[in-house]
Amino acid sequence: MRYFLLVLMMICCNLYASDMFPLKPDENPRGAIALTLREEVGLLNARFDIKRIEINETRELAYFCGLLKDTDGQYIKDEDDKYYLFDRILLDSGTEGWVSTVYLDEEFSAPEQAKCHFAGNVDLKSQELRALVKQYGRIAACLPVEKGDPLRTQLLDAVRENYVGDLNRKTMLNNTPVPSFVVTQLCAAQKYAYFCGEPANADADWYSQDSKKLDVVLQKDANNTWWLPVPQFQGISRQSSLAWCNHSTDILPVKTVEEMAKKRQQRCVREGDTVSLRGILAEQKSGAQRYWVVKLEEPLTCVQDADMRTADWNGQVQLLLSDEIIERVKVQYGDDLLNQEIVVTGDVLLALSSDHHTPLVLENIVKLMPVMEGPGW
């Protein structure tokens, strides 16, 4: 019985013992962590007076606390004329370096007043640090979203909702199965998320044998709905996929994902982009000369290299449809479809020949139906 109690006490002690270890001045990744924080404030020539820096056994979780000094050894004041204490919990993202996930930073009137959140006489435990990362980490970082987390379902549903598929293979008017994805990277912050993966059971690419990755940034709106911050009306298609992920980790600074979202949102629509447009369907000419155009509900505001010499260059698009497809659409929806509001999905093409009657043309059309049947992809 005494032996059993002794073993139990040893187990309990190990459970609550510190599993974080100080980093010596010349020990990695002490220098890498300090460099990351100096880069954050653009003071590469400064150095840290490190009050505490510790790392866990697997060397992917760290705690840092320190003040900056200039090259003369004087403590540096911030823009508030205070001494700024960097007090952080960081995770090693691998290729992206060390990422601050929890900010416990404070300002002090004098360097000697600076106190770390975790005092030097307090044993650090990785379990406690991870609990803080779980509670506050998504404020400052895009962190992995694991299987079983309801957030994972929300994010993949948002990708799924905007995924068009492979327009080189997709057949118009035919229902396609709801896609599932093989996830390579998936992380989320409070307002942004990053996904990289590929459709499950996707056919080999026609032009490349490389695995094709869908590289997607999502943003959360005021209603807590995840949406796609991309150029006007654009969706996700196999044609816009990449041979690799833009980021090879699912731990990213939130600023990195936010900048990705802004750049994608500000980008002009380009030839080959997949878009879903609303407007009034109209038929022009008749017989062998017949063609359909959509007078857009909302004009495309920016299309790279488009011919803008006509006033209505972005107000309507010609649909590249064969007579067979036009007749099939009429059979399914009737002639009443003409002069009605419709939604159409396809690839943007710039007019190339006299067969193109508008500066902007839509090809590889995979969806054309009345708006009443539901907008979207």
Range of weakest confidence among 69-73, 195-199, 210-214: 210-214
pLDDT classification of 178: cutoffs 50, 70, 90: confident
The residue count of the chain comes to: 377
Q: Please give the torsion angle defined by the CA atoms of residues 220, 221, 224 and 228, in that order, rounded to the nearest 10 degrees.
A: -50
Whether residue 229 contacts residue 265, with contact meaning beta carbons closer than 8 Å, is answered with: yes
The pLDDT assigned to 204 comes to 53
State residue 108's pLDDT score: 98
Query: Which of the pair, 330 or 136, is modelled with greater confidence?
Result: 136
Which pLDDT band holds residue 174 (cuts at 50, 70, 90)? low
Task: Using alpha carbons only, give the angle 323, 327, 331 rounded to the nearest 5 degrees.
Answer: 170
> In terms of pLDDT, which residue wins out, 101 or 6?
101
pLDDT reported for residue 228: 87
Angle at the Cα of 118 from the Cα atoms of 116 and 119, rounded to 5 degrees: 75
Beta strands in 93-149 (DSSP E): 98-103, 106-108, 141-144
- Three-class SS of residue 288? helix
Q: What is the predicted pLDDT for the residue at 36?
A: 97
Residue 176: pLDDT over 80:
no
Answer whether residue 3 shows pLDDT above 60.
Answer: no
Instruction: Give the tens place of pLDDT for each residue, 8-58.
Output: 444 444 444 679 999 999 999 999 999 999 999 999 999 999 999 999 999
**Radius of gyration of the CA atoms of the chain, in A:** 28
Every domain range in the chain assigned CATH 2.40.50: 274-373
Structure tokens at 190: 């409070």
pLDDT in tens, 314-352: 999 999 999 889 988 888 888 788 999 999 989 999 998
Cis, peptide link before residue 29, omega less than 30° from 0: yes
Measured distance CA(196)–CA(181) in Å, rounded:
9
The whole-chain average pLDDT of the chain stands at 88
pLDDT tens for each residue of 271-302:
988 888 999 999 998 888 899 999 999 999 89
pLDDT of residue 167: 66
Query: Measured in whole angstroms, how far is the alpha carbon of residue 243 from the centre of its chain?
Result: 17
Q: Residue 175 above 80 pLDDT?
A: no
pLDDT at 128: 97
Q: Which residues of 333-369 are buried (b: 16+ CB within 10 A; e: fewer)?
A: beeebeeebbbbbbbbbbbeeeebebbbbbebbbbbb
Which residue has better confidence, 12 or 185? 185
Q: Which of residues 361 and 209 earns the better pLDDT score?
A: 361
- CA gap 84, 43 in Å, rounded: 13
> What totals of helices (H) and strands (E) does the chain contain, helices first?
6, 19
Look at the block and give the residue holding tokens 């060397």: 59
pLDDT on residue 7:
41
Whether 92 shows a pLDDT value over 50: the answer reads yes
Top CATH class of 274-373 equals mainly beta
Alpha-carbon distances of 41 from 38, 68, 116, rounded to whole Å? 6, 10, 20
